[in-house]
Amino acid sequence: MKDIKSKIIDFIRRNRVSTTEVADCLGKSGVLESVMPINRGHFKVGNVKWVYAHAESNWDVHEQIISTQENDVVFIEAFDCGKRAIIGELVCKFILLYRQAAAIVCDAKFRDAGALLRENYPIWCTGFTPVGCFNTKPEKSLDAKIIEQHKSMYDGAIAVCDDCGVVIIPKECHTEEFYQKLVHIEEQEDIWFNRLDHYKENTFEIVCLKNYLKEK
């Protein structure tokens, strides 16, 4: 029997539940702001492996990605890295091909755009720049409280990634109740498009008034 987290991931994957629908289930929330796909057409969902870079260095990224598991969505969060690219082609290839991660997500920029686009990698970030981070160990470690807080928030969560962006389903939502919200929204979408395409109702009648519910 599947645990509830695996059940949610499997349902989203099989039904291609969009980030739009997932965000609706989260009360119109959960999006990683400004994070967009570099290559269109990918749909990925999976366990989040949280990784961080800080102080304009990607030393910690190199160290942390070693333990990436197959089908993880690697989320790299950047702290005090300015406008520098966090990683590029080499690290992306290691994560996606040699660790078989499902996707890479980052709230900062990447480099080696040509190679990453050519390989059609499933990557979501904020853009590109040729100026990268240093690969030397920072003089000071990232604050332990920040690490604890953000790891607790993201590591082990669920990431859903598509052409609209990335939505994070927090661990406190890995419940049967949230699973049923996903089921409901998929059923609702089918009904709404049926009312639009076959009954020729307008969107005010469908979405706002929900006249179809009065027929039951």
What is each CA distance from 187 to 23, 90, 183, in whole angstroms? 16, 42, 6
Count of all residues that appear for the chain in the document: 216
Please report, for the chain, how many H helices and E strands are present, in that order: 8, 7
Reduced 3-state DSSP string for 128-180: ECCCECECCCCCCCCCHHHHHHHHHHHCCCEEEEECCEEEEECHHHCCHHHHH
Tokens for 40? 């269109």
Report pTM.
0.95
pLDDT score recorded for residue 216: 60
Q: Domain 4-170, what architecture?
A: 3-Layer(bba) Sandwich (3.50)
Q: Are 185 and 21 in contact (CB under 8 A)?
A: yes
Q: How confident is the model at residue 7 (pLDDT cuts 50, 70, 90)?
A: very high
CA 8/CA 175 separation, integer angstroms? 9
pLDDT-derived band of residue 214, with 50, 70 and 90 as boundaries? Answer: confident
Query: Predicted confidence band at 1 (pLDDT cuts at 50, 70, 90)?
Result: low
Cα dist from 128 to 30, 86, 104, 157, 182, whole Å: 24, 10, 14, 26, 34
Q: Across the chain, where does the E strand assignment appear?
A: 36-37, 44-54, 73-79, 103-106, 123-125, 158-162, 165-169
Reported as a single tens digit per residue, the pLDDT across 125-169 is 999 999 999 999 999 999 999 999 999 999 999 999 999 999 999
Q: What is the mean pLDDT of the chain?
A: 97
How do beta strands 123-125 and 36-37 pair? antiparallel
13-38 confidence digits (pLDDT tens): 999 999 999 999 999 999 999 999 99
The pLDDT tens digits of the residues spanning 76-125 come to: 999 999 999 999 999 999 999 999 999 999 999 999 999 999 999 999 99
Q: Which residues pair with 31 in a beta bridge?
A: 167
